[in-house]
A and B are shown apart, each in its own frame.
Chain A
Amino acid sequence: MYQYDKYDQAMVDARVADFRDQTRRRLTGEMTEEQFRPLRLMNGLYLQLHAYMLRVAVPYGTLSSRQMKMLGHIARKYDKDYGHFTTRQNIQYNWIKLEDAPDILADLASVEMHAIQTSGNCIRNISADQYAGVAADEVADPRPWAELLRQWSSFHPEFTYLPRKFKIAVIASTEDRAAMRLHDIGIELVKRDGEIGARVFAGGGMGRTPMIAPEISEFVSEDEIISYVEACLRVYNRYGRRDNKYKARIKILVHELGVAEYRRQVEEEFAHIKTLGIDPPVAELDRIRAFFADPPYETGLSDAIDRSDPDFALWVDQQVAAHKQPGYAIVNISLKPITGIPGDASSDQIELMADLAERYSFDELRVTHAQNIVLPSVRKADLYTVWQQLRGAGLAEANLDLITDIIACPGLDYCSLANARSIPVAQKIAQRFADPVRQRELGEIKLKISGCINACGHHHAGHIGILGVDRKGTENYQLLFGGSGAEDCSLGTIAGPGFDENGVVDAIEKATDLYLAQRQPGERFVDTYRRLGMAPFKEAIYG
C-alpha cells in the first residue's frame, strides 16, 4: 500500500489545524454559516437530515488494517457505533457532532486518511477496481495510476472550482467492476504492442441525465496519462456550463459539443500541455509502483478447498473470486445481510474485518462500489477459518451479485436530498427473495435503488433499478430494467407508472418469474430482458 511521504502528511495535518480553527470560529460566532459551509464541505462535513454527516475518503477503495481499525474506532467513539460504506468506495458517518469533527479529522490523519475533496466541485476520490493488483484478468495494476491521479488531483489549484464535481475511475481488466464508463473520466489500462497505456473515456455519469462515457482516446501512452487527463479537465473547466448546475457536468459538455469536437479540443490542449512537462518522471511512477509490489506470497500452496461443510461450500461458490497467485483467493465480504442495511457495518464488524485482514490478507482490505468489503489475498487453506469468523459476526451472507446484494443509497431515512426511502424497499426485496436456493436459481441480478434523481444508488445501472420519487407527498417507486455498470454498460429504461413500497416488490417478483419462464440456457436476467425487450415485462407487471 502507498504510504504518505512528508509532503502528504504535512498537507493533511495542516488541513486538520485549519479546520480546527475554522470550527472554533464558527462555534464562537466569528464566522456565519454562510461563510463556514463551504469550508466544512471541503472537509467532507455535510449537514444531513438528522445531524452532521462526515464522508471519509478511501483512496481507490484501499485500506490497511490500521486504517480500518481507526474507522471502527471513530464509529464507536464519535458516532452511533456504525458506519456506512458508500457507492464511491468511501465511508460515511451519520451522527457527527460539529464540535467533534476536528478531533475526528486528527484521528484520521494519524493513519494517513482524511475527508478532503469528498464534497464540492472538485476532483473527488479516485475509484478503482476492488480486485486491483490481485485479479487474474488484469493487464497491469491500476493502483499506482490511481495513486498518481490522487496526488495530481489533491489541491490541484486549477481544478478546485470546477463547474461541478468530477469523478474518475481506473480499471485494468476487460471486466469492469468499477462502473468505469459511468464516471466523468474512465480510464482503462490496456496493453498494445507490449506497451501499457490507457483507453480514456469522458462524459459518463448517472444523476438526472445519465450518460455512458464515449471513448475519447483509444490509447494514451503511460507516460502521458496525466497530461491527457489534465487536457480533458481543462477543456471542461473552460467550457463546462456554470450557469445551470443541472447542466454543469462534463457529460453535458461532451454531449453538446459532440464527441468529435470535444476530442479535437482535448487533443489541441494535450499538444500544448505536453510542452509543459507536467507528467511525472518515470522515477516517480516507479517510486509509487514500489508501494504496490506483491506481498510475500507463499509458493507451492495447494488450490484445494475442503468443501465438506455445505454452508461453507455455498459461501465459497458465491463470495470467493479467482486470484492471480496459486493457492490464494479473493474474499468478498457481503454487507448485505437479509434484514440489514446495505453498506452498514458496526464498529465490532469493522474491527473484525480489520483483524482478519491483518491475520489472513497481508494487512489489506478494499471497499467496493457495490458497498461490500474485499479481503484481496487470502490463502485458500485459511478460507474456512475466515468464513467461520465472518459467520460469527453476521458477515457471511453468500449473495454476491445475487438479487439480495442490493446497492441502496441512504435515501430519505438519512439524506436531506432524498424524496423517498431506499433502505426499507431493499429490506423488503431481500426478505421476499431470502431463500438461498431461489436466489441462486435467479442467478446474477444487479438490483440498485436510489431515493432521488441524483442516483447515488446507481439505479440507472441496475439490471433492475428502482428510483424513489415524491408523488404529492407520498413515496412512489419507479421500476427500470436493463441497466448495467459493467463492461456491457447500458442505461435502464423506466417500465411505466410507479408503485408503492409493497407494489414494487410484487412487480419485481413478477418480472423475475417471467425471466425464469422465458430464459434461454446461460442467460442472466438482463440478457433475457435485452432479448425480449420491455413489452413482455410490462405485460407481466402491469397486465
Chain B
Amino acid sequence: MNIVTGNDLATGDVIWWTGSGWSRHVDEAVDVGHGAEAVIETETAARRVNSAYAIEAVMDGKRVRPAHIKDRIRAVGPTVRADLGLKPADPTVGSWVI
C-alpha cells in the first residue's frame, strides 16, 4: 500500500493522511494507491502539511507498518526515548520499529 506522510506546518508534528484529513497516528493512514501526488499538491497548497511525501507500507494485522525503519521511527518517536513517543506504554513498539 502507498501512504502519505509529512509534518504539520505550524507544529512540525509527524502526520499521516487519513483520506479526509491528517492524523498523528500511522494506523489511521490510508492507501492512496496512485493518488499521492494529488493529495500532496492539494494539502501543501492548503498549508495543512509541510514536506509531504509518499511511502510504501504494509498492513501488519490491523496496523499500518511503513516499509522503511526511518518512517517507523517517525511514526512512534525516538527509540531511545519511549517516553516521548505517541505510545510510551506499548511494550511491542520496539520490535515493531526494528
Count of chain A residues near B, Cβ 8 A:
28
Bound-state Cα–Cα, A99 to B10, Å: 6
Q: Are A99 and B70 in contact (CB under 8 A)?
A: no
Give the B-binding residues of A (Cβ under 8 A).
26-27, 29, 33, 47, 49-52, 80, 95-99, 341, 412-414, 416, 418, 421, 423-424, 427, 473-475
Which residues between 1 and 38 of chain B lie within 8 Å of chain A, taking CB atoms?
Answer: 7, 9-14
Q: Is B62 in contact with chain A by the CB < 8 A criterion?
A: no
Q: Are B80 and A99 in contact (CB under 8 A)?
A: no
User: Which 7 pairs of residues, A with B, have the shortest CB-CB distance?
Assistant: A51-B12, A413-B78, A52-B12, A423-B80, A97-B11, A99-B10, A29-B47
A365 to chain B, nearest CB (A): 25
B50 to chain A, nearest CB (A): 6
Q: Is B63 in contact with chain A by the CB < 8 A criterion?
A: no
Q: Are B10 and A413 in contact (CB under 8 A)?
A: no
Q: Are A412 and B73 in contact (CB under 8 A)?
A: yes
B49 to chain A, nearest CB (A): 10
Chain B's closest residue to A418 (CB) is: B70
What residues on B are CB-neighbors of A474 within 8 Å?
69
Bound-state Cα–Cα, A50 to B85, Å: 10
Residue B7 contacts which of A26, A51, A475 (CB distance < 8 angstroms)?
A51
Chain B's closest residue to A421 (CB) is: B79
Bound-state Cα–Cα, A423 to B77, Å: 14
Chain A's closest residue to B7 (CB) is: A47
B85 to chain A, nearest CB (A): 9
What residues on B are CB-neighbors of A416 within 8 Å?
70
> Can you give 25 A-B contacts (C-beta < 8 A)?
A27-B9, A29-B47, A33-B50, A47-B7, A47-B51, A49-B14, A49-B70, A49-B73, A50-B12, A50-B14, A50-B77, A51-B11, A51-B14, A97-B10, A99-B11, A341-B81, A412-B69, A413-B78, A413-B79, A413-B80, A421-B80, A423-B78, A423-B80, A427-B80, A473-B67
Residue B78 contacts which of A47, A52, A99, A414 (CB distance < 8 angstroms)?
A414
Q: Are A98 and B11 in contact (CB under 8 A)?
A: yes
